[in-house]
Structure 1
Amino acid sequence: MKKAFLASIVLLLGGIAFGQESKVYESNKVQDFKLVPLPAIAYNPANGWMFGLAPSATWYMGNPTTTKMSNFVGNLLYTTKKQWIFSSRSNIFLDENSLILVGDWRYFVTSQPTYGLGSSTPNDPSPNPNQNSSFWGAQQMDFRLIRFYETILKRISDSNFYLGLGYHLDIHSKIDNFFLNEDSIEPILDFAHNQYNESLGFDTDRYALSGITLNAVYENRDRAVAPYEKNFALLSYKINPSFLGSDQSSSTLLLDYRHYINLNEQRKRHLVAFWAYGNFLVSGNLPYMNLPSLGWDMFGRTGRGYAQGRFRGENMVYSEVKYRFPLQRFKETFGGTLFVNANSFSSKYNSEKLFEQVNPGYGLGLRVMINKENRTIISADYGFGRSGNSGFYLNINESF
């Protein structure tokens, strides 16, 4: 996995010279390659401060007048919580947008608190009233994650509709549950992760989810990294059979819709954006860390106002509305955003249904555009959630 990741970086870096020398646009060849090898200083509640490199690249695989811009975002980070974060995420549009290649590769040596299942979990650890033998509330977890997702989408005629197949693999290993302050808590109950997995026949130290995805996409955005107009939709049905390496067979359905409305044709950065996102367990059982969870979408942008993994369950619904605007009259360097969001999770394990509890979030943010042509930005947001939850989020590119 590491070798494949490094090889992809080498290939991208090797394309710089080609892109700079290219004068004539050729089909499926790298054109106008621009790499921003940013030293990374980032922050979010789950990881703390992160330091390292966050290379961001954009390029065209054909004539820019008929081919959308491809993009790549990488992370090679060490955090103040002693975590290692290596990731590579990409959207590659081939000539004439004939194919889209979507990649999400990760290797994490990491940790984060988990709180149990459903939308009603408290911040502090206490006995779970729905499962008298386990805790809910903050329980710390160390683990390693290997992720390999790759999808190929074929354009349907000259439309903006795509159909395609993908493969996905998640391996969680070296899982350890504990409390940060064990002296204040008597370990007389099971950890939520362990009891859930044991009750369904999953291992508590290591498990895998492997399968294929059937995908339908409507890609109508002007730029994927920071859209100004139009919309995007995704339907992804995941099939996780045991014969492909999953610990148990299961299936899930992911729905994702985003819409962008311009408020000023002369300043398209002035807009309102809508995001609706749902992730549902259709059949079988999933191991604990593979259940739908806040902040575990591809770019980790759901749920500002809460830590990654703050809520988790068999089914998840999330929505967000944000207002984006320029902060300068004639320049595009600085911009701002105001946002509100809401999430809800169900858990048959805790007998909780969707929308019994809704968790709101809201906040504001600053945008600094470091490359106007490719819309590469640095985003800084501060979000607030219920019951004292809050967080600061510093990232590359727009939240959605």
Structure 2
Amino acid sequence: MKKILIALLLLVIFSLIALCAKGQEKKINIIPFPVVATNPTVGFAFGFSPGFTWYMGDRQNTSMSSAVASLVYTTNKQLFFSVRGNTFLEGDKWNLLADLRYQITSQPTYGLGTNNRSVHPLVNNDDYDFSETHYLRRQEMMEYDFIRAYLTLLKKHEDTRFFYGLGYHLDVIYNINDHLLNLDKEPQDITNHYRYNTLKGFSPDRNTVSGVSLNAMFDSRDNVANPYSGRYAFASWRANPKMIGSTKSSSTLWLEYRDYFNLSEERPRHLIGIWTYGWFVTSGDVPYMNLPAIGWDKFSRSGRGYTSGRFRGEDLVYTEVEYRFPLQKNSDTLGGVIFANTATASSRTENVDLFQHVNLAYGIGLRVMINKRSRSNVNLDYAWATNGSQGLFISLNEAF
């Protein structure tokens, strides 16, 4: 299964590269990018993450397409392989969004909702009467394998920047090793992951979410890798019926908005960017690890300052503001950023409401423009969170 999946992903990559490179007007630009980074999720990471930019038609009426691939190994014994891209066909008549991942990974979890405690529930009850739960301040480490295959095709509406279309989305999380779960001792150690999945009727070892989506997008950004102007809005309602492979039927809603406000007519790189999204379970139940969580957006850019999945719940709202500015008087090679983000998540099982608790992170960053034609940046960000978490985050292209 793993070998077949990797072979299919490689086939997709090489097919896209061949398609994009066909013809001079579709020449692909490749940015080789070694990865040496550290953050709370991975420890130290080593590998490569090349970026790709190209045009599928006349640059006068066709937006730049971009993709980022990665093959990374970490000191936490994690393996990440992914291809994530945004392709505009000739004349922007069609837009293809892809998010393909295979991971052997691990991450700590902290329960649901954005309350200030990191909880590890201990239960001494064979019938799992969780009303007897008490808590220790402790994170819960989990190991698991993860497969994601998302493909969304959008059609442009007449001569506008509005797109609409359908998508297919598959998430499979399996080989789950919940380190702190111990059902053999007295009292039993029951983790948040086990508790939630038991209450909702999911397996603690493996779950699948397979769904189709209805999507609407408005995108007037002047550049998808590093916008100076324009705005972006995206709405996606996803139905995950059991009949097409989901462990249980459910539906979710994603709402996202980005905007960019220039502060100087002479230096378009001097701007304020705003990014916000809401992610909601709208019907049924979703497995614990598939619930809305920071760091689980398409390019895993949300939540700088926190470990991926630090805040999770049935409802999640995230907002980030970033001040971007040039560091050179007559050149855009070097730039800086100052950013802050907030996250709030609910827990319907714990009666924690959205916006009941809001967590803050903030940081600074350096930008090095390594391709002025595509405006591709190498990003080095250091972020701090109000709960004491911090880390260095290295990436290609702007965070949003």
TM over 0.5: yes
Note if 1:43 corresponds to 2:26: no
Shift in CA distance, 94/14, structure 1 to aligned 2, threshold 3 Å: closer
Q: Does 1:73 align with 2:47?
A: no
Match runs of 1:300-315 below 5 Å: 300-315=300-315
How far does residue 123 in structure 1 lie from its aligned partner after superposition? 3.8
Which residue in the other structure is 2:176 paired with?
A: 175
Match of residue 110, structure 2, among 110, 115, 118: 115
Distance 1:137 1:160, change over 3 A: farther
The code of the aligned residue for 2:145 comes to R
Q: Distance in 2 between matches of 1:41 and 1:156?
A: 42
1:58 maps to 2:59:
no
* Residue in 2 that maps onto 1:383: 383
In the other structure, the counterpart of 2:162 is 161
Partners of 2:193 and 2:218 in 1: CA distance: 36
Aligned position for 1:11: 15
SS of the aligned residue for 2:9 comes to helix
Kept after mapping to 2: 8 A contact 1:314/1:347: yes
| Cα shift readout 1:309-351 (whole Å, capped 9, x = no counterpart) | 1110000011111100011111111110011111110111111
Deviation at 1:362, TM superposition (A): 1.1
Query: Aligned pair in 2 of structure 1 residues 164, 131: CA closer, same or farther (>3 Å)?
Result: farther
Confirm or deny: 8 A CA contact 1:103 1:151 kept in the other structure: yes
Structure 2 residue 210 is matched with structure 1 residue 210: yes
- Distance in 2 (CA, whole Å) between partners of 1:268 and 1:171 is 42
Question: How far off is 1:12 after superposition?
Answer: 4.1
Structure 1 residues 164 and 325: CA distance shift in structure 2, 3 A: same
2:126 aligned partner: none
- Residue pair 2:109, 2:140 contacting (<8 A) in 1 also: yes
Match in the other structure for 1:326:
326
Report the AA paired with residue 28 of structure 2. F
Q: Quick one: structure 1 residues 134 and 238, their matched pair in 2 at CA, closer, same or farther if it must change by over 3 Å?
A: farther
CA contact (8 A) 1:170 1:210 kept: yes
Of the candidates 65, 89, 94, which is equivalent to residue 94 of structure 1? 89
Alignment of 1:288-299 (within 5 A): 288-299=288-299
Question: Could you say what secondary structure the match of 2:91 adopts?
Answer: helix
**Cα displacement (A) at 1:387:** 2.2
Does the CA-based 8 Å contact 1:58-1:70 persist in structure 2? yes
Letter matched to residue 68 of structure 2 = V
SS in structure 1 at match of 2:34: strand
Equivalent position SS for 1:387: coil
Amino acid at match of 1:46: T
Query: Are 1:232 and 2:232 counterparts?
Result: yes
In the alignment, is the contact (CA less than 8 A) between 1:114 and 1:140 conserved in 2?
yes
* CA root-mean-square deviation: 2.0
Q: Which runs of 4+ in 1 moved over 3 A?
A: 12-19, 123-128, 130-137, 185-188
**1:135-146 alignment, distance < 5 Å:** 137-146=138-147
Q: Please state how far the C-alpha of 1:78 moved relative to its aligned partner.
A: 0.7
Identify the residue that residue 280 of structure 1 maps to in structure 2.
280
Gap runs ≥5 in structure 1:
26-30
TM-score of the aligned structures, taking structure 2 as reference length:
0.92
Kept after mapping to 2: 8 A contact 1:166/1:214: yes
Q: Indicate conservation of the 8 Å contact 2:180/2:191, yes or no.
A: no
* Alpha-carbon contact 2:84-2:99 (below 8 Å) kept: yes
Listed one character per residue, the Cα deviations across residues 63-83 of structure 1 (whole Å, up to 9, x for unaligned) are 011100001100011111111
Q: Distance in 1 between matches of 2:302 and 2:378?
A: 17
SS in 1 for 2:100: strand
Work out whether 1:32 is the aligned partner of 2:33: no
Q: Is the 8 A contact 1:54 1:74 kept in 2?
A: yes
- Identify if the C-alpha distance between structure 1 residues 49 and 156 changes in structure 2 by more than 3 Å, giving closer, same or farther: same
Q: Distance in 2 between matches of 1:232 and 1:379?
A: 21
Number of aligned positions between the proteins: 387
Which position in structure 1 is the counterpart of 2:399? 399
Q: Name the TM-score, length of structure 1 as normaliser.
A: 0.92
Taking a change above 3 Å as real, the CA distance of residues 13 and 252 of structure 1, as seen in their structure-2 partners, is closer
Output the CA distance in 1 between the equivalents of 2:131 and 2:264: 53
Q: For residue 342 of structure 2, what is the aligned residue in structure 1?
A: 342
2:285 and 2:263 mapped to 1: Cα distance? 45
CA distance, structure 1, for counterparts of residue 36 and residue 165 of structure 2 = 36
Counterpart contact for 1:134–1:189, Cα < 8 Å: no
Equivalent residue letter for 2:196: Y
Structure-1 residue corresponding to 2:80: 85
How far 1:49 sits from its partner (Å)?
A: 1.8
Deviates more, 1:133-142 or 1:303-312: 133-142
Deviation at 1:226, TM superposition (A): 1.0
Closer, same or farther: CA 134–172 of 1 in aligned 2, 3 Å: farther
CA contact (8 A) 2:111 2:119 kept: no
Paired residue type of 2:379? S
AA aligned opposite 2:82: S
- Mapped partners of 1:286, 1:131: distance in 2: 22
**Structure 2 segments unaligned to the other structure (5+ residues):** 124-129
Task: Name the CA shift for 1:33/1:326 in 2 (closer, same or farther; >3 Å).
Answer: same
CA offsets 1:336-392 (integer angstroms, 9 cap, x no match): 001111111011111100111010111111111111111111111111112212222
Residue identity opposite 2:328 in structure 1? Q
AA at the equivalent of 1:296:
W
Contact 1:44–1:394 (8 Å) recurs in 2: no
Residue 37 of structure 1 and its aligned partner are, at CA, apart by: 2.5
Kindly provide the CA deviation profile for residues 196-234 of structure 1, in whole angstroms up to 9, marking residues without a partner as x. Answer: 101111000000000101000001111111111110000
- SS of the residue aligned with 2:222? coil
| Cα distance, 1:186 vs structure 2 | 9.0
